[in-house]
Amino acid sequence: MIKLAKKIALILLSFNLMAYSHLLRAELTIEITEGVQSAQAIAIVPFASPLGAQLQDDVAQLIGNDLARSGYFKVLDRAQMLTRPTQPAQVKFRNWEALGQDYLVIGEVTKDNNLYHVQMSLFDVYKKEQLKGLRITVESSALRMAAHHLSDAIYEKLTGIPGVFTSRIAYVTSESNGQKKTKYNLYVADYDGANAISIAQSKEPIMSPAWSPNADKIAYVSFENKVSEIFVQTLATGERKSMAKYKGINGAPAWSPDGKQLALTLSKDGNSDIYILTLANKSLRKLTQSLAIDTEAAWSPDGKKILFTSDRGRRPQLYVKASNGQGVAERITFDGDYNARGSFSADGKSVLMVQGAQGNYRIAVQNLTTRATTVLTNGPLDESPSFAPNGKVIIYARRKGNNAILATVTLDGLSKQDIQHTAGMVREPVWAPRK
C-alpha cells in the first residue's frame, strides 16, 4: 500500500504534497502579464456621489480593474480625462473621440436610508449612442459586488460572453514558520482574491477542493488525522461531514452535476480505482477495476460520463467511461508523455488538462470532435486547471521563481495574468460554478 501511494504521488500532480500557505488574512494581487493586442479602449469615469469619502469602495475603479484584468479592454487613465460627466446629457462624444476611446461608462451612487442605488450608463463613442443602462440597489457592504455585477453587464454587452467578475474561487495555501512547520489553509474568495475567508486549517496537507454544483458546499481532502480523509463542508454554516476515510487512499472528490454523488479515488481494496459515492446513504459503487492507477475523476455536464486519469497504458493519460459502469474505458489523449487532471467544458465539447512532455508541464485543451489539442501555457510546472463559469477563462497554478502562484489564461491563449499571493505557496485553484 505504501509503494502504491508513493507511485501515485510521483505520477499525478493532484497528489503532489508540496507546501501550501496559511495566512490569517489572505491577499492576492493580480498582474496582467499578456493582454490582447486589439484590446478595446474604454473610459470609466469616476461615479458621482454626494457621499464622497463615506463610500467603502470606488465603484468606477473596481469596474475598470475588472475590465482591464479580462485582457480585452484598455482602460483610460483618469488623469487623461478631459471631462468627467455623470449624466447622459453631459456626455460630449468628441472629447472621448479625441482620446481614442471606443466606449464610455458613467454613473452615480446615491443613498436612500440604508440602501445604495448604483446607476450606470454604457456608450458607444463612435456611434454616439447609449448601449446599456443599469441600476442596482444594495446595502453598503455589497457595493463591491454591485460593481462586479456592472462589470459583468458591460463585458457581456461588448463581447457577447457572460462575465466572471461576480464569481468565486477556492484555493489552498501553505506557509512554513521558522521551526520548519507548515500550516495549510483552504480559502474561498471573490474571483479577484478579495473577501478571502479560510474555511479549513490544518498542520497537515489539505488538497483537491471541489465546488458543489450550486456552489454552497466544498468537498476536499485533509490529512489532519494523519491519513487522507474526504470532507464535505457547507459554506453558510461551516458544518462539515466526513465522507470517506477508508484504508489507504481517499482522494480527488468530484461532484456529479445533480450534486447527489461524489466520484472518488479509493484504494481500500488494494488498488487505486474510481468509486461513486451516493451522498444520501453513503453507498459505494466501484466504477473502474484495473491493475493500473485510476484517479482524478471528472463528470461530463450531462452526468453520463466520467473522465479520469490512468496509467494503464504505462503513462498517465485521460480515459472516459460511462458513469453507470457499462462498457469499457476509452482513451482520449495521445499527445505528450503525460495527460492528467482532466475536466469537461460546460458544453461537453472539450476537455481541459495538464499535458507533459520531456518534463515540461503545461495547460492544454482538447476538442473532443476533432481530437486536436491546443497548448495554452508555457510551463514548466503548470497544474490544476479549472474552467471559469463562462468557459472562456482558465485558472491554474504555476511556478514563478521559487514561488507557487495562481494564474489565468483565456481559452484562446491570448490574455494571461498572474495572481500573486502575499506570502507562502498557493495551489489547487478551482472556480466556483455559476449559481
Dihedral sign for Cα 98, 101, 102, 108, please. Answer: negative
pLDDT score for 254: 98
- DSSP 8-state secondary structure symbol assigned to residue 41: E
Whether 112 is covered by a domain: the verdict is yes
Q: Are 147 and 153 in contact (CB under 8 A)?
A: no
pLDDT surpasses 80 at 52: no
| Statement to judge: residues 77 and 171 lie in one domain | no
Using alpha carbons, select from 421, 388, 413 the residue that is nearest to residue 166: 388
Residues 189, 125 share a domain: no
DSSP collapsed to 3 states, 181-199: CEEEEEEEEECCCCCCEEE
Of 126, 159, 192, the residue at which a domain comes to its end is 159
CA distance 102 to 350: 33
pLDDT in tens, 310-355: 999 889 999 999 999 999 999 999 998 999 999 999 999 999 999 9
Residue 124 has pLDDT above 50, yes or no: yes
Q: Please give the pLDDT value at position 211.
A: 98
Are residues 174 and 261 part of one domain? yes
Number of domains in the chain: 2
CA dist., res. 61 & res. 51, Å (int): 16
Boundary of a domain, candidates 159, 192, 222: 159
Tell me, yes or no, if the pTM score tops 0.85: yes
Kindly state whether residues 282 and 321 are assigned to the same domain: yes
Structure confidence at residue 178 (pLDDT): 67
Residues 155 and 171 in one domain: no
| pLDDT band, very low/low/confident/very high, at 240 (cuts 50, 70, 90) | very high
**117: CATH:** 3.40.50.10070
Domain residue limits at 196: 2-20+167-431
Q: Is residue 25 part of a domain?
A: no
* Cα three-residue angle 158-432-395, rounded to 5 degrees: 70
Q: Is 401 a member of any domain?
A: yes
210 & 78 share domain: no
Assign 423 a pLDDT band (cuts: 50, 70, 90): low
* Length of the chain as a residue count: 435
- Regarding whether 324 and 201 lie in a shared domain, the answer is yes
pLDDT tens, residue by residue, 245-296? 999 999 999 999 999 999 999 999 989 999 999 999 999 999 999 889 999 9
- Looking at the structure, do residues 13 and 89 belong to the same domain, yes or no? no
d(CA 150, CA 17): 40
User: Residue 184's domain is classified under what CATH number?
Assistant: 2.120.10.30
Distances (CA, A) of 72 to 294, 369, 407: 39, 28, 16
